[in-house]
Structure 1
Amino acid sequence: MLIDFTQYQLYRFDELAGRIQAEPEKYLNFDSVSDFYKAVWLQDFPQGTTWTATGLDDGAEQFDAIIEYRGHFLRISCTGKIAIYCSICAE
């Protein structure tokens, strides 16, 4: 049996993104941008995943984050209400 490593990593990304989308309250408890970057679950994404976050400075309750791996992405927007978008980026 041949395993496509890239497809497996994309599956891992999508699976974790789906868990975050299904239960955001379990993953998205941040008081600062620094808290986001220290989130242990970020390390569960495949190696090579990139992420950025904005907001949360000076006690702000709003933030945006983008997590991306090989054209798949998870966009999190928290502006009073949490909105999470998970998709495959156009290449």
Structure 2
Amino acid sequence: MLIDFVQHQLQKFDELACQIQAEPEKYITFDSVSDFYKAAWLQDFPQGTTWTATGLDDGAEQFDAIIEYRGHFLSICCAEKIVIHCGIRAE
């Protein structure tokens, strides 16, 4: 039996993204962008995942983050309410 490593990692990314989307209150608890980058759950994504965040540190009340792995993404926007989108980028 052969295991497709890339497919396994994509599945791992998608599963964690779905967990975050289903229960954002367990994951989205930041007072600063620095807190986002220190979040332990970021390390649960597959190796090679990238993430960026904006807001909070510059006095903004809004927080935006994008987490990506091989075209799959999780977009987080925290303003008056938390909006999370998961998907696959078009090539």
Fold-level match, TM-score > 0.5?
Answer: yes
- What is the Cα deviation at residue 31 of structure 1? 0.2
2:60 maps to 1:28: no
Q: Share of identical aligned residues, percent? A: 81
- What is the Cα deviation at residue 76 of structure 1? 0.2
| Aligned equivalents of 2:80, 2:38: Cα separation in 1 | 22
- What is the Cα deviation at residue 80 of structure 1? 1.2
RMSD of equivalent CA atoms: 0.9
Kindly tell me the number of residue pairs found equivalent between the two proteins.
91
2:54 maps to 1:54: yes
- What is the Cα deviation at residue 59 of structure 1? 5.0
| Aligned equivalents of 2:59, 2:27: Cα separation in 1 | 19
| Aligned equivalents of 1:23, 1:39: Cα separation in 2 | 15
| Aligned equivalents of 2:37, 2:57: Cα separation in 1 | 13
| Aligned equivalents of 2:58, 2:3: Cα separation in 1 | 47
- What is the Cα deviation at residue 60 of structure 1? 3.6
- Could you tell me which runs of 5 or more consecutive residues in structure 1 were left unpaired when the two chains were aligned: none
- Could you tell me which runs of 5 or more consecutive residues in structure 2 were left unpaired when the two chains were aligned: none
- Moved segments of 4+, more than 3 Å: 58-61
Deviates more, 1:46-55 or 1:57-66: 57-66
